[in-house]
Amino acid sequence: MNTLTSELSIFTGNANRQLAIEICDHLGISLGEADVFQFSNENIFVKINENVRGNDVFVIQSFSSPVNRSIMELLIMIDALKRASAACVTAVIPYYAYGRTDKKDQPRVPITARLVADCITVAGAHRVVTLDMHAGQIQGFFNIPVDELTAQTIQAEYFAQKQIEDLTVVSADEGFAKKARKLADRLNVPLAIIEKRRLGNEGITEAMGIIGNVAGRNALIVDDEIDTAGSITQAVRVVREQGARDIYCSATHGIFSGPAIERLRAAPLKELVITNSIPPPDINRLPNLTALSVAGLFAGAISRIHDGRSVSELFF
């Protein structure tokens, strides 16, 4: 299938329309017209309102709240575009939900991340583009190409410009240490790691201690996502107890479910930095919040995929 001569089209569901508009602005094209809404019986209706026959189509849809509706919107849109004879359909998923259920870590539990991957493939997607998945092995759940982008270059540039003295990057847990190391190397600063354990299935974590030195230094705590903010606020507590001065926090995905906003407002954070992979909350709810845009990153990836160029060149 040759998409190099196909017309580029971009559509979006309701999960993060503003990000889709920003991506189109970067690419200099208009967002495709489509009706995507839910009937009173909770059935989702999709109608593509323009010709896409033979086009190279990208559907932008984060799996943000309401998560299951966002997933269904994407699946139905892919099906609609396939039935409208699009030449190629790429699912652009800035935030991939269910990423934590990537393995059987208890008896009789599902691998939902794989199930969602299967649904996307069966719906008819030819390719997936996503951002900072919770677990790298999820790429292997797809039988179609997956391009996983990272916001780390944007985050590194932002904090480098701030020129924070005596900075230490702190990984929120051991599982994120490898990615945190890459950010520390980009900023040319040392790394520390929070030791933690997860208690049960309720999203409760316990920070046990810290590997590395933050005493008398400024700390940048990093993770891939902030959900209920339990892990991050525990990390802030440990870092503060170890003598850190100003504490910053950076994560790609700001989910902010349940008590997250209240926990973060109470935490002694100088600044909290996320991206707009998920629509950020009202700044009045979190006055120290900064949301970096990933629109240029996704626009670059879409342009390269459409032109048949390397996506990895975005990160060098």
Residues with a known catalytic role: 196
Annotated binding site for ATP: 41-43
Q: How far is CA 30 from CA 15, 21, 74, in A?
A: 18, 8, 19
The answer to whether the CB of 130 falls within 8 A of the CB of 147 is yes
Strand partners of residue 89: 57
Helix (H, G, I), strand (E, B), or coil: what is residue 15? coil
The answer to whether the CB of 210 falls within 8 A of the CB of 170 is yes
Alpha-carbon gap, residue 8 to 23, rounded angstroms: 13
Query: Helices (DSSP H) in 66-151: which residue ranges?
Result: 67-83, 112-123
Number of H helices, E strands in the chain: 8, 14
Strand partners of residue 10: 58
